């Protein structure tokens, strides 16, 4: 059983393509969309690097895509809940009376928020679900915050008049109830709208794997110098590769420095100062 707080004739909101993404949830998270293609990594971040083996076989796109997915996963974890590509998220949040009376403020776990499909309340083991009117939703996309602003009356009076048998916690004065606020939403940047600075980080991070492999192919894994002699003539080839250093180590170090410097600004912009009040 469910009922809607607010306009009783308002249907539940649904983000564009949300149902298709929800149907794809059985697929591995590892198969998510790429924000940069293998060709773009070759052209931009691996320019001038010989990506063939001794027989002339090109490095496969599948290998580069493997490192791109790893780079995306690393960046999302490093920026605390970032979603580079669209995903459907279902979350349970705690009820706090101070947040509740301030238009039911909820800080979502993943960001940015494209749109919110559903906000409701359900007690554990309860069959009744309170669905809030989608016209109440107020969403801050980058900060990934949701508030509920009733179209008429005050927040407490509307909920008490329509759901007093469902939300006794208001007049009982409960300060905190775990996991009764339910939110379903679409997180992630829209296709083609990922900020360039994030794509650059993914590209540099993803290029490090192929650079390590290509470095071994210059003269062979761990070989710093190769000499060929024939009839008194000799040719010697020296590389920067060694048992402890990659052939393209200088570029890898430079990319890592750029990533480290950029991540400081990105954490300030997307994560900000984290504060916990005990």
- What are the tens digits of pLDDT across the range 50-67? 888 878 889 999 999 999
Residue 233 CA, chain-centre distance (Å), reads: 58
Q: What is the pLDDT of residue 37?
A: 96
Q: What is the pLDDT of residue 3?
A: 45
Q: Is the dihedral angle over the CA atoms 185, 183, 97, 277 positive or is it negative?
A: negative
Residue spans per domain, the chain: 2-23+87-187, 32-82+192-270
Kindly tell me if the per-residue pLDDT of 173 is higher than 80.
no
Higher pLDDT, 72 or 191: 72
User: Which H or E run includes 170?
Assistant: helix 169-172
d(CA 82, CA 33): 14
Q: What is the pLDDT of residue 102?
A: 82
The CA distances from residue 187 to 35, 72, 153, 162, 278, in Å, are: 15, 15, 31, 31, 29
Beta strand 87-96 with 106-107: parallel, antiparallel or unpaired? unpaired
Q: What is the pLDDT of residue 276?
A: 52
d(CA 274, CA 272): 6
Runs of H (alpha helix) within 93-154? 97-101
Q: How many CB atoms lie within 10 A of CB 144?
A: 21
Kindly tell me if the per-residue pLDDT of 275 is higher than 60.
no
Buried b (16+ CB within 10 A) or exposed e, 180-209: bbbbbbbbbbeeeebeeebbbbbbbbbbbb
How does the average pLDDT of the chain come out, rounded?
79
């Amino acid at each position: 059983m469910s009922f809607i707080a607010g306009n009783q004739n308002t249907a539940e909101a649904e983000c564009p393509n949300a149902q298709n993404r929800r149907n794809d949830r059985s697929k591995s998270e590892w198969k998510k969309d790429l924000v940069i293609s293998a060709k773009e990594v070759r052209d931009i971040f691996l320019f001038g690097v010989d990506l063939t083996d001794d027989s002339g076989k090109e490095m496969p796109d599948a290998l580069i895509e493997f490192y791109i997915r790893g780079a995306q996963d690393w960046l999302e974890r490093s920026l605390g809940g970032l979603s580079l590509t669209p995903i459907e998220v279902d979350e349970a949040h705690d009820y706090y009376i101070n947040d509740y009376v301030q238009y039911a403020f909820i800080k979502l776990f993943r960001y940015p928020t494209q749109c919110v499909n559903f906000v409701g309340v359900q007690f554990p083991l309860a069959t009744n679900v309170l669905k809030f009117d989608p016209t109440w939703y107020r969403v801050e996309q980058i900060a990934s915050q949701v508030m509920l602003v009733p179209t008429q009356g005050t927040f407490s009076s509307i909920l008490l008049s329509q759901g007093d048998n469902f939300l006794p916690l208001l007049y009982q004065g409960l300060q905190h109830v775990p996991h009764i606020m339910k939110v379903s939403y679409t997180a992630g940047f829209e296709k083609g709208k990922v900020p360039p600075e994030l794509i650059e980080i993914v590209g540099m991070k993803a290029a490090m794997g192929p650079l390590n492999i290509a470095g071994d192919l210059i003269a062979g894994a761990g070989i710093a110098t190769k000499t060929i002699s024939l009839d008194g003539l000799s040719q010697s080839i020296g590389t920067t590769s060694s048992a402890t250093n990659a052939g393209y180590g200088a570029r890898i170090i430079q990319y890592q420095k750029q990533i480290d410097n950029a991540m400081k600004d990105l954490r300030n912009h997307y994560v900000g100062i984290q504060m916990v009040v005990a």
